[in-house]
Amino acid sequence: MRLAKYLAQCGIGSRREACRLIEAGRITLNGHIARHTDPIRLDESLNCLDSIELDGAPITKTETLAYWILNKAVGTDCRLLEQDETSLIRLLPKAPRLYPVGRLDKDSRGLLLLTNDGELTHKLMHPSFAHSKTYHVRLNRPFTDEFVEQMASGVRYKDLQTLPCQVRRLSSDSFEIVLTQGLNRQIRRMSSALGYKVIDLQRVALMTLTLKSLAEGAMRPLTPKEVAVLKAAVTI
């Protein structure tokens, strides 16, 4: 098994975060600074046969994988910064260690998946997998049918061209959009490029997951069925 994949399974973060730790020289393998290409030896029970350390502390076993859903409120910052009073880290349990799958802007709200499953995080976040995220958006004024068509066909801003997506009108000034891209502040910038301002943005679904009746600011563990359905959808 590749080192970064194993580290992700140990619950230290996503595979991308594991790569950052390796690049920073903070991971040692059998007493030597680890490299991305280093393989991990596992026995028949998938126990690691190598000595792996993070900043000198042994990584000895894989954490039990956990999956939670949060209905994030506006004002919560998804960056895990200890010194920030608005940081998501202040809402998370001490154990198990959970990390957000992607981010919602501080001024956005809605569904956020929290997990220590680095492999699932990688598959949900990597653009090559093109998994869907659904949002409800309200603008500062009523929009035309042409706006819907332009959003659905793709919008150009700065040096970017967004991919075609699904868009349907909910009211005179609100719409639903389903994205498979994950560009920074994508919906806000698409709307701005067409002359509108987003005044409310809520993520209502991530693949098979929905908020259902989860109150704003509340979080709960996923049921075994929800985890199984999500994983099955991700592997399709």
63 pLDDT tier (thresholds 50, 70, 90): low
pLDDT, average across residues 179-207: 95
pLDDT, average across residues 46-66: 82
75 pLDDT tier (thresholds 50, 70, 90): very high
Higher-pLDDT residue of 52, 15: 52
Q: What is the token pair recorded at 193?
A: 């490029």
Task: Give the CA count within 13 Å in the CB-facing half-sphere of 85.
Answer: 0
Supply the pLDDT for residue 79.
Answer: 81
Region class of 207: left (phi > 0), else alpha (psi between -120 and 50), else beta = left
Q: The domain 67-127+208-235: what is its CATH number? A: 3.30.70.580
**Residue 63 to residue 96: CA distance in whole angstroms:** 8
**Residue 36 to residue 2: CA distance in whole angstroms:** 8
Where are the CATH 3.30.70.580 domain residues in the chain? 67-127+208-235
From 105, 107, 145, 173, the catalytic residue:
105
Higher-pLDDT residue of 189, 120: 189
Second-level CATH architecture of 132-206: 2-Layer Sandwich (3.30)
Where are the CATH 3.10.290.10 domain residues in the chain? 3-58
Q: DSSP states of 72-110 as a string?
A: EPTT-B-S--TT-TTBGGGTS-SSS--EESS---TT-EE
Express as a percent the part of the chain with pLDDT over 70. Answer: 96
Q: DSSP states of the chain as a string?
A: -BHHHHHHHTTSS-HHHHHHHHHTT-EEETTEE--TT-B--B-TT--B-S-EEETTEE--SPPPP-EEEEEEPTT-B-S--TT-TTBGGGTS-SSS--EESS---TT-EEEEEEES-HHHHHHHHSGGG---EEEEEEESS---HHHHHHHHH--EETTEEPPP-EEEE-SSSEEEEEES---TTHHHHHHHHTT--EEEEEEEEETTEE-TTPPTT-EEEPPHHHHHHHHHHHH-
Supply the pLDDT for residue 62.
Answer: 63
- Lowest mean pLDDT segment, chosen from 83-97, 137-151, 215-229: 83-97
Active site annotation includes 105:
yes
With a cut of 80, say whether residue 19 has pLDDT above it.
yes
Q: Read off the pLDDT of residues 154-177 as tens digits, 9 standing for 90 and up.
A: 999 988 999 999 999 999 999 999
Supply the pLDDT for residue 197.
Answer: 98
Supply the pLDDT for residue 217.
Answer: 93
Supply the pLDDT for residue 236.
Answer: 60
Higher-pLDDT residue of 98, 68: 68
Higher-pLDDT residue of 236, 137: 137
**Residue 20 to residue 4: CA distance in whole angstroms:** 9
Express as a percent the part of the chain with pLDDT over 90. Answer: 56
Supply the pLDDT for residue 12.
Answer: 74
Domain 3-58 part of CATH 3.10.290.10: yes
